[in-house]
Amino acid sequence: MTINRSDRTSISATGSTRTVRTARTVRSAFVKPILFVAGAALVAGCTATGGSETGTTTTTNAAGGSSTAAAASPADISADLAAMTKKDVAKIAPTRLAEGLVPPTNRWFTGLVFGDQPQPVFPMPLSAALTDQGFALGLPNVTVSEKTIMGGNNPQIQVPLGAASMKVTAYDTLSVTSTYADAGGKALGSVILVQGSPFVTYTAAADQSIALEPIFKSTSTPNTFTTTVDGHEYGLVVGGGATVDDAGKVTLPAGSTMTLYGAPDGGTVESLAKLAADPVVSTSVDHAVNGDTVSTTLKYVTANGGDTAIVPMADQAVDGGSKGTGTYASIYGTMDLYTGSSLTTTAPVTEPSSELDLSKLSDEDKTALIEQIKTDTASIDFAASATDTYFGGKMLYRASNLLTLAEQLGVTDAATTLRTGITGELDKWLNPAGCQTAATKCFVYDENIKSMIGLEASFGSDELNDHHFHYGYILYAAAVVAKNDPALVEKWAPVADLLAADIASAQATEDFPQYRNFDPYSGHAWASGSSPFADGNNQESSSESVNAWNALALWEQVRGNTDLYNQAVWMMSVEANSAKLYWTNTDLSEFPAFTHKIAALNWGGKRDYATWFSPEPGAMLGIQLIPMGSYSTYLAGDTDRIKANLAEAAPGGYSAQFGEYMVQYLALADPAAAREQLANLPAEIDNGTTKSYVMAYVFSRADASGS
């Protein structure tokens, strides 16, 4: 089934119109490694002139000991890049980025860097709006309607700097630094925004006076001031010789600081004053895979090496930590306050997979499935396959899953046809020099935007939209077809490794940013390349994001790169956990006016029961299921919630759009009911799957345990 998504203008709950984003059309069992390895520790330094994101890898051995090795990195990326066709094809370019920095696309703060005007950003628990003249910040006033949970930009504290320009001059894993200059280009100072921090620190580069709006008044705590706006209390702490007069004007000598912050509900400005006086200067993230859990450790370095305030995303499982007094409201629910220099969250492991377990199928089921495999194989025309990165990738994914079924069930002729066709297609897509002679089904490296971009692009992929969705399908096919063929692995590795680095580089290099899409603090990826929106960045298809990290893990496994395999397992597991927390199984008890079961489109500043392509209830759930691979059992576990989600999404039955995926989803809760619904699938199956695979998925569900 092909879904035509038309471009649309997104309207916020307050009625502000934002830039149109190009709409995106909807778009296994490998041998486990002997050792499970903790992922790369991503140490970042954020400075006034540039950022870096480097790291180490901790390997846990069978005896429980550990050792530290070099940071994970794809094999010989420089040689891979040297062989690539270089071409300037990206349709976006940074307008407010210091020279020498890799453009930070697909980030929570990307809206600061691209476009004619900077957009508001949402580091949580605050919002921040930076302009060329100064900046503003605020805690959200969360409002709720039937289809929207709105936080949005809330510029309650205004900091007019009298500047003429602003640009991003540094960033690391969790923070971004922006520097202001006067009309002559002389630096006035820099502001650092940090995910999970209630503090925003401005460091003066030159002597200056700033009249904050509204006026802050002194408290009983030295160098600490306060103001209240619309029920929100805000604090101000100055250091390094800065002063505040009775009229609220802040005088900052060069090198001095002022830190602004929002007080938590149930807490006070004074309770955070000591922490605010030691500003955060850099951040990093450690990650690990340990047995049946993964962990993410957010690390914050302050100017004097002290503790700080840390506010993790709502509903994430915190491992230990020192809980502070008070909480913060957010569109994702109440956020708890912690103190310390680091905080660790955990999530259950989601195992990478490319095969369904067909061992318990009855002879009758096998016979029916074999006949359907033959039919579906005959329907695939590789010569007429899609030429863009999204639909081309989906075709390869569909054919690869069909190949796996054919090989599992001994349908030799079909398997041979499929393997030959997929290999031929991947030979085109993964040829480093393919774009020298072809206009489609090939990749170039854009040296300006620092990204791999496919020709032809689709749904804004040349604006850096959705790379993880697109490239995940291609990496998956490459991993499935090449897993027992070292020669193919070697042949495809130069381009496939670069696609992996494009969406998930373990560390920042001069050629790729760290991760690109994945946000360790939020626990999920962001889809928009340039984020030209007043509500921050966004992601719609949580399931295609999980699919991307599954594909990454499988590819790194055939490459024999254990470190990057475990990084992918971490990303996949965290994303799968967040997909349930914030999309399919989200706890909406704090938002009773929101009357739907799921949040289909999550932003930095709001959450919508909406998609980019359809208002239908089936689209809201379906885009969280596609492509329902063998690993999609992460969606299981709450049978009542699955049935409630389906009741809302498919009130008229499963013959509608995405019905095939919803039947698979039903099989996670009620396999017998799902089997009955196989007769009611849509007449046209989505182009990311086959009727064979839907049948096999349902047949393979012996129970609803999620295993």
Asked whether residue 149 is assigned to any structural domain, the reply reads yes
| Ramachandran category for residue 340: left, alpha or beta (phi over 0 → left; psi -120 to 50 → alpha) | left
Instruction: Report how far apart, in Å, the C-alpha atoms of 244 and of each of 180, 210, 222, 250, 296 are.
Output: 21, 9, 11, 4, 39
Please name which of 216, 213, 172, 215 lies closest in space to residue 192, comparing C-alpha atoms. 172
Give the number of other CB atoms < 10 A from CB of residue 230. Answer: 9
pLDDT beneath 50, residues of the chain: 1-75, 704-707
Please name which of 357, 367, 446, 354 lies closest in space to residue 401, comparing C-alpha atoms. 354
CA distance 112 to 324: 31
Asked whether residue 348 is assigned to any structural domain, the reply reads no
CA distance 556 to 675: 35
Collect all residues with Cβ–Cβ distance below 8 Å to 420 and sequence separation of at least 6.
Answer: none
The DSSP code for 264 is P
- C-alpha dihedral sign at 103, 107, 113, 116: positive
DSSP strands (E only) in 456-500: none
Res 129: pLDDT: 98
Instruction: Report how far apart, in Å, the C-alpha atoms of 517 and of each of 112, 482, 501, 504 are.
Output: 16, 26, 11, 7
Asked whether residue 237 is assigned to any structural domain, the reply reads yes
User: Residue 514: which H helix or E strand, with range?
Assistant: none
Query: How many domains does the structure of the chain reveal?
Result: 2
Query: Which of 233, 251, 280 is the endpoint of a domain?
Result: 280
CA distance 654 to 663: 7
Res 30: pLDDT: 33
The 10 Å CB-count burial string (b at 16+, else e) for 83-113 is ebbebebbbbebebbbeebbbbbbbbbbbbb
Query: Which of 280, 313, 335 is the endpoint of a domain?
Result: 280
Strand, coil or helix: 181? strand
Asked whether residue 683 is assigned to any structural domain, the reply reads yes
CA distance 122 to 14: 17
Give the number of other CB atoms < 10 A from CB of residue 554. Answer: 27
pTM for the full predicted model: 0.91
Cα 134 from chain centre? 29
Residue 120: CATH number of its domain: 2.70.98.30
CA distance 707 to 701: 9
CA distance 186 to 179: 10
Give 141's Cβ-side CA count (13 Å radius): 10
Under a CB-based contact definition with an 8 Å cutoff, are residues 421 and 409 in contact?
no
Under a CB-based contact definition with an 8 Å cutoff, are residues 260 and 234 in contact?
yes
Query: Which of 246, 280, 314 is the endpoint of a domain?
Result: 280
- Domain of 183? 110-280
Please name which of 271, 215, 274 lies closest in space to residue 239, comparing C-alpha atoms. 274
Asked whether residue 142 is assigned to any structural domain, the reply reads yes
Asked whether residue 263 is assigned to any structural domain, the reply reads yes
What is the SS3 string spanning 275-320? Answer: HHCCCEEEEEEEEEEECCEEEEEEEEEECCCCCEEECCCCCCEECC
Give the number of other CB atoms < 10 A from CB of residue 381. Answer: 9
Q: Which residues pair with 236 in a beta bridge?
A: 225, 260
Please name which of 618, 610, 620, 621 lies closest in space to residue 652, comparing C-alpha atoms. 618
Residue indicated by tokens 């690993």: 631
Residue 627: asked if its preceding bond is cis (omega within 30°), the reply is yes
Instruction: Report how far apart, in Å, the C-alpha atoms of 50 and of each of 103, 147, 519 are.
Output: 12, 41, 20
The 10 Å CB-count burial string (b at 16+, else e) for 656-667 is bbbbbbbbbbbb
Res 76: pLDDT: 67
Res 34: pLDDT: 25
CA distance 181 to 162: 9
What is the secondary structure of 586-638 as a DSSP string? ---TT-TT--SS---EEESSEEES--SS--SHHHHHHTTTTT--TTGGGG-S-
Asked whether residue 393 is assigned to any structural domain, the reply reads no
Asked whether residue 350 is assigned to any structural domain, the reply reads no
